Amino acid sequence: MNTIDIKTNEECDSIAHLINEELKALGIHQNFAPVCDISSNNEAIKNRSFGSDKKSVTELSRQFILSTQEDNIVATAKHFPGHGLVKGDTHKQSVYIDGELQEVDIYKPLIESGVISIMVAHITVLNNPLYDTKGLPATCSRTIVTDLLKNELDFKGIIISDALNIMKAVTILEKAPLKASMAGCDMILMPIDELETMNWILEEMKSNPIYKKQVEQSVKKIIRLKICLGLV
């Protein structure tokens, strides 16, 4: 994906199937792709996306998802709500969407086409009355994960956080894995300390029945996915 310039659905389908063969050979069942951001010049995204044309990015992302899931590999659209039209790299610093969420529209047809998983970015949203994250990265914002992605866009699949172990935009945040879980993420990707993360979640569940029910729903979603993949 990093070195091939994909321009047509046929090329996208072919590349996706080649990737799927490699993943299956390695015993991997979920691909953290496609990158659905609309800029090829962003410091973090670089040439990982399908380009800078929203229509083309949407269509090629949709094709990649369909071809991936046709081979019984879970596709993961990322980086919600959009990492393309921002300056900076969340691996190095906090990065902001200042105002309108210009890339969210990409996800609507992907959700309608049945994408199984969506990854949320560590992007902070400001100057947006509806979706301001109040200084938190989107990963840890219930406004973005639950209100927007789950409720408004009606996404019923698996929501996964971006990596929590090396990205400066989130490692500076206290108990970031717990905050991401409480925001509505079903899966927590690469927390710095897995045991500590589990203990935080279990402790919160003891005193927060609403959160406890949410975690149980997330676990059920993941178990159902494993059943569908033939892993259980």
Q: How are strands ordered across the β-sheet holding 117-120?
A: 30-31, 74-80, 117-120, 158-161
* pLDDT of the residue at 59: 96
pTM of the entire predicted model: 0.93
Rounded to whole angstroms, the Cα distance separating 140 from 124 reads: 9
| DSSP 3-state of 106 | helix
Q: How far apart are CA 198 and CA 171, in angstroms?
A: 17
- DSSP class of 187: B
Catalytic residues: 91, 162
Query: What is the pLDDT at residue 2?
Result: 45
Cα–Cα dist 192/76, whole Å: 22
Q: Tens of pLDDT along the chain (232 residues)?
A: 444 678 899 999 999 999 999 999 999 999 999 999 987 666 667 778 888 889 999 999 999 999 999 999 999 999 999 988 887 666 676 788 999 999 999 999 999 999 999 999 999 999 999 999 999 999 999 999 999 999 999 999 999 999 998 776 787 889 999 999 999 999 999 999 999 999 999 999 999 999 999 999 999 999 999 999 999 8
pLDDT recorded at residue 1: 41
